[in-house]
């Protein structure tokens, strides 16, 4: 059974790229491009895994992550954070907020698939 992944990202080209490679790898891909209602969308769609961008219109990825971790249903949900700001501080913030994995853009496609598979295996 194909795993369900939700991509929360506002850059359409990047959504398209990730969607393509994950679909090709056999994932059921779902996307969302807004920060406002991201938490509600995650709860509603209940994905097996979430790819979360930091810079989202409406709400920061860290805040969304913190909210998700505060709720029992999404407490242990594997979440891969993506950020275009590759500073050490960003990684710290992500770990503090409870990210399962953290990746800096630009990334290698293979790395993303490997990271997702690893997260699912855990």
Partner 1 sequence: MATLNILIAVCLAYVALLFGVAFMAERAALKGRGNWLRSPWIYTLSLSIYCTAWTFYGAVGYAARSGLEFVTIYLGPTLVMVGWWWALRKMVRIGRTQRITSVADLISSRYGKSGLLAVCVTVLAVIGITPYISLQLQSVTLSFSSFAISDPDGVSLIAGYDTALWVAVGLALFTILFGTRNLDANERHHGVVMAIAVEAVVKLFALIAVGVFVVWGLAGGVGPMMERIDASEIGQWQMDGGRWVGLTFLSAAAFLTLPRMFQVLVVENEDERHLRTAAWAFPTYLMLMSLFVVPIAVIGLEVMPAGSNPDQFVLTVPLTQGQEGLAMLSFLGGFSSATSMVIVAAIALSTMVSNHIVMPIFLRLTQGGASGPSDVRHVVILARRLSIGVVLALGYLYYKVSGGGAALAAIGLVSFAGLAQLLPAMMGGIFWRGATRNGAFAGLVVGFAIWTWCLLLPGFGGGVLSQAVMEQGPWGLSWLRPHALFGIEGIDPLLHAGMWSLLLNVTVFVLVSLVSFPSPLERLQGAQFVNIFDHSDNPQSWSGGIAQSEDLMIMAQRILGPEQVQSFFQAEAARQGLAGYLPEPTPDFLARLERELSGAVGGATAHAMVAQIMGAATVSVEDLLAVADETAQMMEYSSQLEAKSNELTRTARQLRAANDKLTQLSVQKDAFLSQISHELRTPMTSIRAFSEILRDAEGLEPKDLTRYASIIHAEAIRLTRLLDDLLDLSVLENGQVNLNIRDGLLSDVISHAIAASGTDMHAMRVRRSGPAAEIVLTTDHDRLAQVFINLIANAQKYCDADRPELTIDVSRRGGRVIVDFIDNGSGIPPQAQGMVFEKFYRVADRQAGGAGLGLAICREIMGRLGGTLGYLPGQGGAAFRVSLPAAQRMAAR
Q: Which residues bind partner 1 (CB under 8 A)?
A: 10-14, 16-18, 20-21, 24, 55, 57, 84-87, 104-110
Q: C-beta of 72: minimal distance to partner 1 in Å?
A: 33
Query: Phi then psi for 97, rounded to 5 degrees?
Result: -75, -15
Taking the complex as a whole, how short is the minimal distance between the CB of residue 85 and partner 1, in angstroms? 5
Closest distance of CB 113 from partner 1, Å: 11
Nearest distance in Å: CB 82, partner 1 = 8
Here the tokens at position 107 are 């990334």
Nearer to partner 1, 11 or 63 (CB): 11
The contacts of residue 74 (CB under 8 Å, 6+ apart) are: 42, 43, 68
* Cα–Cα distance list, 65 to 23, 70, 71, 75, 103 (Å): 24, 9, 10, 10, 15
Enumerate residues 6+ apart whose C-beta is below 8 A from 6. Answer: 30, 31, 32, 41, 42, 45, 47, 49, 50, 51
Which CB sits closer to partner 1, 75 or 87?
87
The residue among 86 and 92 lying less far from partner 1, judged by its C-beta, is 86
If the CB atoms of residues 46 and 110 are measured against partner 1, the closer one turns out to be 110
């Amino acid at each position: 059974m194909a795993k369900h992944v939700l991509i929360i990202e506002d850059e359409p080209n990047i959504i398209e790229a990730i969607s393509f490679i994950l679909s090709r790898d056999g994932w059921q891909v779902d996307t969302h491009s807004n920060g406002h209602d991201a938490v509600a969308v995650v709860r509603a769609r209940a994905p097996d895994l979430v790819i979360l961008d930091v810079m989202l219109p409406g709400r920061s990825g860290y805040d969304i992550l913190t909210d998700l971790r505060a709720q029992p249903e999404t407490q242990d949900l594997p979440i891969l954070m993506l950020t275009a700001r590759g500073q050490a501080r960003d990684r710290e913030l992500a770990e503090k907020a409870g990210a399962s994995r953290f990746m800096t853009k630009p990334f290698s496609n293979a790395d993303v698939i490997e990271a997702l598979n690893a997260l699912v295996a855990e």
